[in-house]
């Protein structure tokens, strides 16, 4: 899952939000340097990623991106899932998503001093360009795809490749999200209690 899902799956717990959001930038055993509740967020992030990456529905969804994006298909599916979460009327509306985004940004900003340096830079761009709200829109997804393409060392396509796949298979991918996401939510609730 990508940033919006990790933030949402922290269920408004500030320490879980911070840990969940920084986890990809905390390498090896560095997670042990954080206070216990943030450690829980980092571990939760890793559990979410493992559940997502090995889930049959996610594996099926990745197949659409595989021909053009190869092993990066997993990264693009994470962003696609964030888009469907952002547009899921049972979770967010056009009013509640901006409010949620502001809440997450405020929580992260209040922990700025403990954020990994690379994530501090990422967070600056995330907040400045309102990535969490931007996942609601196709141009926001295109920008996210473009960011991946520019950072990927072994991907020889433009952002158009995954974007075309998303547009061509939009309804099918949305159905995959609707099947998968409630199972992920149930998993997280079990994991955190």
* φ/ψ (deg, to 5) at 130: 50, 60
pLDDT digits (tens, 9 = 90+) for 37-84: 999 999 999 999 999 999 999 999 999 999 999 989 999 999 999 999
- Is the distance from CB of 18 to CB of 41 less than 8 angstroms? yes
Residue 70 — left, alpha, or beta (φ > 0 → left; ψ -120 to 50 → alpha)? left
Residues of the chain predicted below pLDDT 70: none
Q: Is the pTM of this model over 0.75?
A: yes
Please choose, from the candidates 65, 30, 59, the residue with its C-alpha nearest in 3D space to the C-alpha of residue 148: 65
Residue 1 to residue 48: CA distance in whole angstroms = 7
Calculate the average pLDDT of the chain: 95
**Centroid of chain to Cα 154:** 21
DSSP for 85-149, written as a single string = HHT-TTT--TTHHHHHHHHHHHHHHTTGGGS-HHHHHHHHHHHHTTHHHHTTSHHHHHHHHHHHH
The Cα-based distances of 101 to 142, 146, 180 in angstroms read: 19, 21, 23
């Amino acid at each position: 899952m990508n940033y919006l899902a990790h933030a949402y799956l922290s269920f408004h717990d500030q320490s879980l939000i911070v840990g969940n959001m920084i986890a990809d930038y905390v390498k090896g055993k560095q997670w042990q340097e954080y206070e216990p509740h943030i450690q829980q967020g980092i571990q939760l992030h890793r559990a979410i990623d493992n559940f997502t990456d090995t889930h049959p529905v996610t594996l099926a969804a990745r197949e659409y991106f595989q021909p053009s994006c190869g092993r990066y298909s997993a990264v693009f599916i994470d962003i696609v899932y964030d888009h469907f979460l952002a547009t899921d009327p049972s979770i967010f509306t056009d009013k509640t998503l901006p409010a949620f985004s502001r809440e997450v940004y405020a929580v992260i900003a209040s922990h700025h001093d403990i954020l990994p340096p690379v994530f501090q830079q990422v967070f600056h761009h995330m907040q400045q360009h309102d990535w969490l709200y931007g996942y609601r829109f196709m141009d926001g997804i295109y920008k996210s795809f473009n960011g991946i393409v520019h950072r990927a060392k072994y991907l020889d396509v433009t952002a158009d490749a995954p974007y075309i796949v998303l547009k061509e298979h939009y309804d099918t991918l949305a159905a995959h999200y609707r099947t998968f996401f409630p199972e992920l939510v149930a998993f997280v609730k079990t994991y955190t209690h």
